[in-house]
Amino acid sequence: MNKMKFMVFFMSITLLFSGCASMNNTGKGAVIGGGSGAALGAILGGVIGKGKGAAIGAAVGTAVGAGTGALIGKKMDKKAAEAAKIQGAQVEKVTDTNGLSAVKVTFSSGILFPFNSSALSSNSKTSLAEFANLLKEDPTLDIAVIGHTDKVGTYEANQKVSTDRAFSVQKYLQQCGVAPVQFKEVKGVGFSEYNDSETAEQNRRVEVYMYASEQMIKNAEASN
């Protein structure tokens, strides 16, 4: 890449990120959706989603247009607003591998686990039942469930318990009527993503991601 091309690329990325902070998902979808496809989406996901966004997204294989991105961004804005009404829900807007808006939901008290346990509390079930209603409203939403843990014990033991936690959440959401086909990834990450800025209890959690399925992308493209 020559010097001129590098400067153009650098200025483009700078302008893109300077605008993201003040936009909702509708606007972000229009800008990011008009980018250069999955490769750029992975970069944006890694930054905007703090490393998590690059791990989710339907494999569409082609660049997603600006109009499609805007429609999906509007839909994700609505889901984020609905999720934020659930007791204890912490909602973060992230970006998937296609550069499309996605939503991460973590519960400050609703989906936390006792030490070395994957058993759902009554508070967990209450929050999850309400969250399930949101997920069922749109069967074109894809879902990823990621279990986390503290750093007490061996890596293998923590890997198992974080995985068990993720599957406990998936199982209960399905019992509440969420379609099994919507779950595209359910896994634990052990303490490989332990957050040192949080307490051990806060790290014993599950995160749920909502993002656009291939069908949602096709529907949005057909609406343009």
**If you average pLDDT over every residue of the chain, what do you get?**
77
Select the more confidently predicted residue: 63 or 137: 137
**CATH topology (fold) of 3-223:** 60s Ribosomal Protein L30; Chain: A; (3.30.1330)
Select the more confidently predicted residue: 126 or 5: 126
Would you state the pLDDT for residue 108? 64
Query: Which of 19-23, 158-162, 166-170 shows the lowest mean pLDDT across its residues?
Result: 19-23
Give the mean model confidence (pLDDT) for residues 211-223.
92
Which string of DSSP letters, residue by residue, matches the chain? --HHHHHHHHHHHHHHHHHHTT--HHHHHHHHHTSSSHHHHHHHHHHHTTTSGGG------SPPPHHHHHHHHHHHHHHHHHHHTSTTEEEEEEE-TTS-EEEEEEETTTTB--TT--PPPHHHHHHHHHHHHHHHT-TTEEEEEEE---SSS-HHHHHHHHHHHHHHHHHHHHHTT--GGGEEEEEE-TTTT--TTS-HHHHSBEEEEEEE-HHHHHHHHHH-
Domains of the chain by residue range: 3-223
User: Percent of the chain scored above 70 by pLDDT?
Assistant: 73
Give the mean model confidence (pLDDT) for residues 205-213.
93
Interval 25-67: pLDDT, tens: 544 333 333 333 333 333 233 333 443 433 688 877 677 888 9
Query: pTM, whole model, 2 decimals?
Result: 0.76
